[in-house]
Amino acid sequence: MRFAKRMDCFGEGIFSKLAVIKKEKMAKGEEIIDLSIGAPNIPPAPHIREALCKGAADPSNYVYAISDRNELLDAIAGWYKSRYGVELDPQREICSLLGSQEGLAHIALTMVDEGDMVLVPDPCYPVFGDGPKIAGADLYYMPQKKENGYIIQLDEIPEDVAQKAKLMVVSYPNNPTTAMAPDSFYQELIAFARKYDIIVLHDNAYSDLVFDNRTCGSFLRFPGAKEVGIEFNSLSKTYGLAGARIGFCLGNENVVSRLKLLKSNMDYGMFLPIQEAAIAAVTGDQGCVKTTMKAYETRRNIMCDGFTRIGWKMERPVATMFVWAAIPKHYKTSEEFVMDMVEKAGVMVTPGSAFGPSGEGYVRLALVQDEEALNRAIEAVDRSGILKEQE
């Protein structure tokens, strides 16, 4: 059998190793506290679940959706108006996604040809680069450095690279670094994209998971944003609908129309009961959003303060459902530290190297366990002794 060369880009690596270790330890009855994957464990509010159940009980909802219902598009347009102050044409500037991951994996197919240049952050959520790779693109990694607050320095992108680029992917609040960008960055981003004729894709999955009374808006609220790009948003984290796979592409109508055309040849749309759950989420009582944010904020405080107390200093992130932490100085690589964490403490985290070259030396911890489990994880790491340099 002969397979596509593009698959050579996708190795199993550390994740397969961790999965094997987790399975073996659990088979022995050992506890594994998994902080590696950002899989939310906070369920949707009752009114959202009720809408989903009611829709699933309707026999007429088991046909192909084919396209987004007008009710869904109108609801999302209303959500963007009330939540972000952004006006959107429901028919021309909104397209549903079967989760943001699906959209990120496929949208480059509508924009780039083999050998075209795509700009992606470093470190970054892996599919930011994997999607363009599937389309055959060449990647240029835009460093997100700690000394710059993890904000991309657009003026450091080489002129020849900017001239060749067709697409750039940006995301703040950022996964994995947890950084938020100032308004000035978005203004510079729009000017940069206009100057070099680059399409901007801004992923905005964490705009409602911001802490300490901060607020976060939309890329599309800035003048000129819709002329140069689009935004992806998701109901996975904000409304606890991760498994339902609900995301949206919003903004530039030319980009949206090309994605709709591609999707019309790839899938049959979002399951109708899930569309009803999405409508209930964005039009219903928004108190659940604040409740979810507060839960993550509390978990953040417990994790960061607890690990700092036992000798692993962690700064409290300003946003997202993650913590980005430097590994102890006596470890050479993030993978080495991660393997010791799971083998000796029974705690799984993700090595920073999985997010790109600049991620080395860090790990990402997901706030996906309840308070009791987080305290057990802190105690287990403390008992293991891995934070202390071995003599």
Per-residue pLDDT tens over the stretch 323-367 = 999 999 999 999 999 999 999 999 999 999 999 999 999 999 999
Domain shared by 118 and 208, yes or no:
yes
Helix axis angle for 371-384 and 287-309, nearest 10°, is 20
Decide if pLDDT at 152 tops 70.
yes
Q: How far apart are CA 119 and CA 139, in angstroms?
A: 6
Domain shared by 61 and 196, yes or no:
yes
Q: Give yes or no for a contact between 138 and 114, defined as CB atoms under 8 angstroms apart.
A: no
Q: State pLDDT tens for residues 67-118.
A: 899 999 999 999 999 999 999 999 999 999 999 999 999 999 999 999 999 9
Q: State pLDDT tens for residues 51-72.
A: 999 999 999 999 999 889 999 9
Length of the chain: 391
Domain shared by 263 and 321, yes or no:
no
The percent of residues above 70 in pLDDT, for the chain, comes to 98
Read off the pTM: 0.94
The whole-number pLDDT of residue 13 equals 63
Question: Strand, coil or helix: what is 350?
Answer: strand
CATH of the domain at 227: 3.40.640.10
Decide if pLDDT at 12 tops 70.
no
Domain shared by 207 and 299, yes or no:
no
Q: Which of 253, 268, 285 is the last residue of a domain?
A: 285
Q: With respect to residue 261, please indicate whether it lies within any of the assigned structural domains.
A: yes
Domain shared by 174 and 39, yes or no:
no
The whole-number pLDDT of residue 21 equals 85
The whole-number pLDDT of residue 232 equals 98
Q: Hey, what amino acid is at 12?
A: E
Query: How confident is the model over 187-208, as a mean pLDDT?
Result: 98
Domain shared by 263 and 329, yes or no:
no
| Strand 362-366 with 322-326, pairing | antiparallel
The percent of residues above 90 in pLDDT, for the chain, comes to 90
Q: With respect to residue 390, please indicate whether it lies within any of the assigned structural domains.
A: no
Name residue, tokens 């002329």: 227
Query: How confident is the model over 302-314, as a mean pLDDT?
Result: 97
Decide if pLDDT at 40 tops 60.
yes
pLDDT classification of 19: cutoffs 50, 70, 90: confident
pLDDT classification of 18: cutoffs 50, 70, 90: confident
Count of domains for the chain = 2
Query: How confident is the model over 34-57, as a mean pLDDT?
Result: 95
Lowest mean pLDDT among 5-19, 93-107, 124-138, 301-315: 5-19
Domain shared by 231 and 369, yes or no:
no
Nearest to 184 by CA among 144, 153, 209, 212: 153
Q: What is the mean pLDDT of the chain?
A: 95
Q: Which of 258, 285, 312 is the last residue of a domain?
A: 285
CATH of the domain at 28: 3.90.1150.10
* End-to-end CA, the chain: 51
pLDDT classification of 6: cutoffs 50, 70, 90: confident
The whole-number pLDDT of residue 92 equals 98
The whole-number pLDDT of residue 205 equals 96
Burial class (CB in 10 A: 0-12, 13-18, 19+), 217: middle
Domain shared by 119 and 155, yes or no:
yes
The whole-number pLDDT of residue 9 equals 77
Domain shared by 271 and 318, yes or no:
no
Q: Which residues are CB-neighbours of 69 under 8 A, at least 6 positions away?
A: 272, 275
Domain shared by 170 and 241, yes or no:
yes
Domain shared by 187 and 204, yes or no:
yes
Decide if pLDDT at 121 tops 50.
yes
Domain shared by 242 and 141, yes or no:
yes
The whole-number pLDDT of residue 391 equals 39
Q: With respect to residue 389, please indicate whether it lies within any of the assigned structural domains.
A: no
Domain of residue 178: give its range: 46-285
